[in-house]
Amino acid sequence: MISIDRFLSDEQDPKAVEKVIGKLNDLLTTGEEILYLAVQKKPAVNLLPDSIAITNKRIFYCEPGNLGLTMNFKDISLKNIKEVSFKEELFGSKFICVPQTGENIVTDFIPKTQARKLYQAANDQLEIYKESIKQQQNEENKAAASYTAPQSFAEFVEPEKVELPEPELIQIAEVVEEPEDETTLKLRKLKTLYDKHLITQEEYEAKKSAILDSL
């Protein structure tokens, strides 16, 4: 049985604490422990106060029913909580839990000292949870980065050596240029003179005819 003494340090209602702890003891999972318990304190009547318990895994909301004969428990896991906060008011404080999805869970009339410690305990556990998730993701990323894919079967098979045929030697026949004869040389020189405009076309035609007539 869990001792209730450590949950009475901030003037929590002893009867409410005893009733809540007795029921919560059967709801805790392996390795789960209650870290802090806050009890509502309404300004006028406080016969059936609600309570909020923080564990290292969840937040429990405890609501008495049937004139205190029964207790209704609702819980929200740390992984489903976005953030927690509290707001001080004239009579106590509001403790606010913001889930990842859905509406905020708000509890009124939590004594201010209890609301601060409730927030601190819940926020610390959220930070621990987020850090553990971050470390887990880093380890998974490292494992994925260091993973080497198995080599394909083709990389284990030595490629066959293909012998290429030796290139054929192609003999290139030598081109022997025959020396030009005297008539061809004369005609080439005559054409050069004409192209350079050193002689007229009539002179070119006349000399050309003379060279050809001499053959």
Convert the pLDDT of each residue in 74-107 to its tens digit: 999 999 999 999 999 988 999 999 999 999 999 9
**Structure token digits, residue 213:** 């007539």
Give me the mean pLDDT over the 130-139 stretch.
Answer: 91
Residue 192 confidence (pLDDT) above 90:
no
Give the pLDDT confidence score for residue 108 in this predicted structure: 93
Residue 179 confidence (pLDDT) above 70:
no
Q: Which fold has domain 5-142?
A: PH-domain like (2.30.29)
Give me the mean pLDDT over the 55-61 stretch.
Answer: 95
Q: What is the pLDDT of residues 15-28, one digit of tens each?
A: 989 999 988 988 99
Residue 152 confidence (pLDDT) above 60:
no
Domain range list for the chain: 5-142, 182-213
Residue 60 confidence (pLDDT) above 70:
yes
> Among the listed ranges 5-14, 110-119, 195-204, which one has the minimum average pLDDT value?
195-204
The residues, any chain, with a CB within 8 Å of residue 142's CB and separated by 6 or more, are none
Residue of 160 and 134 predicted with greater confidence: 134
Residue 43 confidence (pLDDT) above 90:
no
Q: Are the C-beta atoms of residues 36 and 117 closer than 8 Å to each other? A: yes
The residues, any chain, with a CB within 8 Å of residue 88's CB and separated by 6 or more, are 112, 115
Give me the mean pLDDT over the 31-38 stretch.
Answer: 94
Mean of the per-residue pLDDT values for the chain? 84
Whether the model clears a pTM of 0.85, i.e. scores above it, the answer is: no
pLDDT band, residue 207 (cuts 50/70/90): confident
Tokens 């789960």 — which residue? 32
HSE on the CB side for 172, CA within 13 Å?
Answer: 2
Give the pLDDT confidence score for residue 196 in this predicted structure: 81
Residue 174 confidence (pLDDT) above 70:
no
Give me the mean pLDDT over the 151-180 stretch.
Answer: 59
Give the pLDDT confidence score for residue 189 in this predicted structure: 84
Distance CA 15, CA 37 (A): 13
HSE on the CB side for 69, CA within 13 Å?
Answer: 2
Give the pLDDT confidence score for residue 205 in this predicted structure: 85
What are the angstrom distances between the C-alpha of 85 and each of 107, 123, 139, 199, 213? 11, 8, 31, 112, 124
